């Protein structure tokens, strides 16, 4: 994949040739900017850095013995026999070492009949070189030796800075690849361990993950308890507790405990491999803005040639054909190079992709990521997205003389042996209050009604209205009012009966995520309408929507009809985003302008979504919109600067201000062009400062911090 990974095995000449050849392909296609891996760009960076320093050192004698610079700066250097050859000899060396690579990189452009940046640079330095050599034969002509070497030096500097920026921004895949260990400890049939390459692991193998080691493959914990650092995959800095039955992701880092993991997926089937594919797709895909930038660069090439021709004709008519004409043409070609424009979008895309991946956002479609900034409405699937997807105790009431904690502990004791979702909800509610449930005996499940058991000598029942009918229990007035109010809120009511007396009632509902309140507020602050889509009844949907402040509700919708609701909003002229689980919501995700799969970090096969949010946190949707807005703003700024700079500079380079004595030399033109490239690169790097942090939740619990780009 990377020809430059181990340059120690190659001679310097071979390394330069490899770097130049690889860079030829890159500059033959503007899409290559920012799309490759860090290793490839690192090879280019080394080449341009080395050639820049060597060429600059060789340029010093040319500058010192330049009569023009001596006159400008008021200094002189001693002459000696043969000193008149210093400028042409060193200029030829600089051209051969520092300038010829640009000519080599221009060949693919000419072969493809798509001249661009390298062609313009090559034309500029070739004209300056040929003209300067001609001045040696025809002494009456002024030479461009110092302009030639400084032009080459500045071009090399600009490319070095560009490759350094792109290499740093394009390191997401390299960093992901480093997460997977090379070897694993496989547990043998006799209980021992053997060290094997990760590539030899098979599904079903049992591996030992020692404290501090990387998990070698996706799998399920069979033995052990530990905290696993998944921040490199999910962006969540807090370690995740793992115990038997929990899934682990290959490439994550084990904490202080030892784990035995049953391998479930290896190689290309792992989560990490899937993430790498998604990141690579995102880096290789072009956004609408990038297409616009490429088109602008193409037009700028023809503008540059046209301006050069007009400049040559105008100056020839004005002063006749001489060195001044060549100087003007060279300056126009140098300053019109679309170097900055070619870098403007790819560098932002690379940083955007890296920043998104570091924060648990995997972008599969660049255009959709770009469109997220203009979303008018976002539809959330209710269950599992805005809510926990599991029932929880949302309220409770007791008769006089019975403490809520005592009632909840008693109910948890009876439900201790049940796996029903209501039983789990009651136990979790008791755990949430740090209650110690007493022991229950003689447990019995009463089909369709509830459960019973003996606790401290009392017969205790937990169940719904059908249980009360069987026991012929009367409901106290205040518990009846509690049940009626819960029914109006589409909540399920479960009763606690002790020794034939009804003593408590629990309201059960699909618990709304704490962060869902903030995500609705945050999207409203961004001017985005929030809608909710669910297959639940209208009453349940309205209760959740009223609590969250959601604008539009689609209830009692079958999975196969969810895309019709997306279309309904689109028919109103709105750009619509859909947030779902990526499986049942596939048609709606596909129909939406921006499909967002949430909570699908381990399901990298999701193909229906444009963006996959690794963490099951709806607040990441806000991060996505904020990153989209910030990235597009940087793209626009870079295009305006790069193209606007050229539009302003070309007439100046052509000499429109010559009547008032303002002329740009080729070296100054090269300096200004490289400055434009550097400014575009710096501006793109400022994207790393975008604030993607999530505000504190209403309870004051801080959310996960945003992660910087690589």
Task: Report how far residue 8's alpha carbon sits from residue 17's, in angstroms, rounded to the nearest whole number.
Answer: 14
Phi-psi region of 692 (alpha: psi -120 to 50; beta: other; left: phi over 0): alpha
The per-residue DSSP string of 354-403 comes to HHHHHTTEEES-HHHHHHGGG-SEEEEEIIIIIEEEEEEEEEEEE-TT--
CA distance 223 to 214: 17
CA 418 to chain centre: 43
> What 3-state DSSP class applies to 623?
helix
Q: For residue 58, give both structure tokens.
A: 């060789």
Q: Tokens standing for 341?
A: 């424009």
**Which candidate, 116, 27, 148, 106, places its Cα nearest to that of 303?**
116
* In the block, residue with structure tokens 């914990």: 221
Q: Which H helix or E strand runs over 493?
A: strand 492-498
d(CA 117, CA 341): 10
Closest C-alpha among 435, 439, 443 to residue 456: 439
Distance from chain centroid for Cα 568:
30
Nearest to 601 by CA among 424, 420, 360, 400: 360
Q: What count of other Cβ atoms lies within 10 Å of the Cβ of residue 573?
A: 7
317 CB burial (10 A radius; 0-12, 13-18, 19+): exposed
Phi-psi region of 549 (alpha: psi -120 to 50; beta: other; left: phi over 0): left
Dihedral angle sign, alpha carbons of residues 196, 201, 204, 208: positive
Closest CA to 94 of 49, 170, 153: 153
Distance (Å, whole) CA 33 – CA 256: 42
Host H or E run for residue 262 = strand 259-265
What whole-number distance in Å separates Cα of residue 503 and Cα of residue 220?
43
| CA–CA distances in Å: residue 347 to residues 127, 280, 476 | 31, 15, 69
Q: Determine whether 566 is exposed, middle or buried from the number of CB atoms within 10 Å of its CB (0-12, 13-18, 19+).
A: buried
3-state secondary structure of 691: coil
CB 338 within 8 A of CB 301: yes
Q: Are 594 and 579 in contact (CB under 8 A)?
A: no
Residue 84's CB is within 10 A of a number of other CB atoms, namely: 11
Angle at 171 between CA 170 and CA 173, to 5 degrees: 100
Q: Which residues pair with residue 363 across a beta bridge? A: 611
Task: Using alpha carbons, list the distances in angstroms from residue 190 to 151, 186, 200, 210.
Answer: 70, 11, 19, 19
Q: Which residues are catalytic?
A: 381
Retrieve residue 621's tokens: 């949707």
C-alpha 673 chain-centroid distance: 30
- Helix, strand, or coil (residue 247): strand
Taking the alpha carbons of 420, 426, 432, 437 in that order, is the dihedral positive or negative?
Answer: negative
d(CA 275, CA 250): 11
């Amino acid at each position: 994949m990377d020809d430059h990974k181990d340059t120690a095995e190659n001679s310097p000449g071979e390394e330069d040739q490899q770097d130049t050849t690889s860079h030829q392909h890159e500059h033959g296609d503007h899409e290559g900017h920012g799309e490759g891996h860090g290793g490839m760009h690192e090879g280019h960076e080394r080449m341009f850095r080395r050639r820049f320093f060597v060429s600059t050192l060789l340029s010093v004698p040319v500058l010192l013995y330049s009569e023009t610079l001596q006159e400008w700066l008021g200094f002189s250097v001693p002459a000696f026999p043969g000193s008149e050859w210093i400028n042409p000899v060193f200029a030829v060396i600089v051209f051969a070492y520092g300038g010829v690579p640009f000519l080599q990189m221009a060949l693919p452009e000419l072969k493809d009949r798509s001249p661009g940046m390298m062609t313009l640079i090559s034309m500029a330095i070739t004209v300056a070189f040929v003209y300067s050599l001609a001045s040696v034969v025809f002494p009456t002509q002024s030479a461009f030796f110092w302009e030639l070497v400084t032009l080459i030096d500045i071009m090399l500097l600009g490319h070095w800075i560009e490759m350094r920026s792109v290499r740093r921004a394009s390191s997401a895949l390299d960093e992901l690849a480093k997460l997977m260990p090379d070897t694993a400890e496989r547990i043998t049939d006799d209980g021992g361990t053997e060290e094997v390459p990760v590539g030899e692991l098979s599904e079903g193998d049992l591996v030992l993950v020692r404290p501090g080691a990387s998990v070698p493959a996706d799998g399920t914990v069979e033995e052990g308890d530990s905290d696993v650092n998944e921040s490199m995959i999910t962006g969540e800095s807090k370690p995740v507790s793992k115990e038997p039955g929990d899934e682990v992701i290959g490439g994550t880092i084990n904490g202080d405990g030892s784990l035995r993991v049953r391998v479930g997926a290896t190689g290309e089937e792992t989560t990490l491999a899937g993430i790498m594919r998604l990141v690579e797709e995102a880096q290789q895909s072009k956004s609408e803005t990038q297409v616009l930038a490429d088109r602008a660069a193409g037009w700028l090439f023809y503008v540059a040639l046209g301006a050069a021709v007009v400049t040559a004709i105008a100056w020839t008519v004005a002063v006749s054909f001489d060195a001044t004409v060549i100087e003007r043409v060279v300056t126009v070609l140098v300053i019109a190079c679309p170097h900055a424009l070619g870098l403007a979008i790819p560098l932002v895309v690379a940083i955007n992709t890296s920043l998104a991946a570091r924060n648990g956002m995997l972008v599969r479609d660049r255009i959709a990521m770009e469109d997220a900034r203009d979303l008018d409405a976002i539809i959330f699937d209710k269950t599992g997205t805005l809510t926990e997807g599991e029932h929880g105790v949302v309220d409770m009431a007791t008769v006089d003389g019975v403490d809520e904690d005592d009632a909840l502990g008693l109910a948890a004791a009876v439900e201790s042996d049940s796996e029903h979702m209501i039983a789990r909800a009651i136990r979790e509610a008791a755990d949430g209050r740090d209650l110690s449930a007493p022991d229950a005996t003689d447990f019995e499940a009463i089909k369709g009604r509830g459960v019973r058991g003996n606790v401290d000598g009392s017969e205790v029942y937990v169940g719904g209205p059908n249980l009360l009918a069987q026991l012929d229990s009367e409901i106290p007035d205040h518990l009846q009012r509690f049940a009626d109010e819960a029914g109006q809120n589409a909540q399920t009511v479960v009763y606690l009966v002790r020794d034939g007396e009804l003593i408590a009632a629990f309201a059960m509902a699909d618990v709304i995520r704490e962060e869902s309140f903030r995500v609705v507020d945050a999207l409203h602050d961004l001017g985005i309408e929030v809608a909710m889509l669910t297959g639940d009844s209208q009453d349940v949907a309205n209760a959740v929507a009223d609590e969250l402040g959601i604008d539009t509700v689609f209830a009692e919708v079958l999975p196969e009809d969810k895309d019709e609701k997306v279309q309904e909003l689109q028919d109103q002229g709105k750009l619509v985003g859909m947030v779902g689980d990526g499986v049942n919501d596939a048609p709606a995700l596909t129909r939406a302008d921006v499909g967002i799969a949430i909570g699908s970090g381990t399901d990298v096969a999701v193909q229906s979504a444009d963006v996959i949010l690794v963490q099951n946190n709806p607040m990441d949707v806000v991060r996505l919109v904020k990153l989209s807005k910030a990235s597009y703003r940087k793209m626009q700024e870079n295009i305006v600067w790069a193209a606007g700079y050229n539009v302003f500079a070309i007439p100046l380079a052509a000499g429109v201000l010559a009547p008032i004595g303002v002329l740009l030399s080729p070296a100054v033109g090269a300096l200004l062009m490289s400055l434009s490239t550097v400014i575009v690169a710096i501006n793109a790097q400022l994207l790393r400062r975008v604030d993607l942090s999530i505000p504190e939740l209403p309870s004051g619990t801080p959310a996960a911090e945003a992660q910087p780009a690589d």
